[in-house]
Amino acid sequence: MDITRAKEEWKIKIKKGLVVVDGEGKVKIGSSGREESFAISEPGEYEIEGISVFGYAANEQTIFVIQAEALRVLYLGNLKAKLEEKLIEELDTIDAVIVKIDQLGVKEVGDLLGQIEPGYILPYGETTKIDEFVKSFEHGSKPMEKLSLTKTMIPEEATEVVVV
C-alpha cells in the first residue's frame, strides 16, 4: 500500500486498485475490474473487490476507515470536534491516520491520536500548525514523498509522524 498526497487529495494505491479521498471528504474507489470509480460520502459499510470502506458519523462530518491488504487507514480529514469514546473503541486497530491539523488544536489532535494509537500519523494543513504538531512528538517526523506500508512495517512501540 502506498499513500501519497497532492494538495488536499490523498491517494491510497493498493494491488487491486486506487482509493482517493478528496478535500471535501469524499472517498472514491477505483479497482482494476471496474471502469468507473465508486464514490462514498455517507456513513455505512462498503466493499468493492476486496477494498472495504467504513464510514462513521462523527459530529457533523463523516470519517472513513479504508481497509485493504490487511491494513486499516483512518481518514479524519479536517476534524472539527473530538470523537466520542464509543466511536474511538468502534474504530478498532488503526495502522495509519490522515488528519488535517487546522480546526482542532494541536493538543486536542495529539490527545485523540494518543487514544487511537496508530502506527503512523500523516498530518496535513497549515504549515505552522503541522510544525507545531510535529514538535509535540518526541520522535519528530519523517518527510517522505509517499508512505509505503505493509503489515510487518507497522511500528509496535511508538507512533511515527510522516509528512507527505
Cell numbers 509535540: residue = 136
Pairing of strands 96-100, 71-77: parallel
Backbone angles phi and psi of 109, in degrees to 5: -65, -45
Q: Is the pTM of this model over 0.85?
A: yes
With vertex at residue 57, the alpha carbon angle to CA 54 and CA 61, rounded to the nearest 5 degrees, is 110
Q: What is the pLDDT at residue 153?
A: 85
- Rounded-to-10 torsion of CA 136, 141, 143, 148: -120
Mean pLDDT in order along the chain per 10 residues (164 residues): 92 92 89 76 92 92 94 92 92 94 87 92 91 83 90 83 88
Q: What is the pLDDT at residue 41?
A: 92
Q: From the options 3.60.15.10, 3.20.20.70, 3.40.50.300, 3.40.50.12780, give the CATH code of 2-163.
A: 3.60.15.10
Q: What is the pLDDT at residue 106?
A: 87
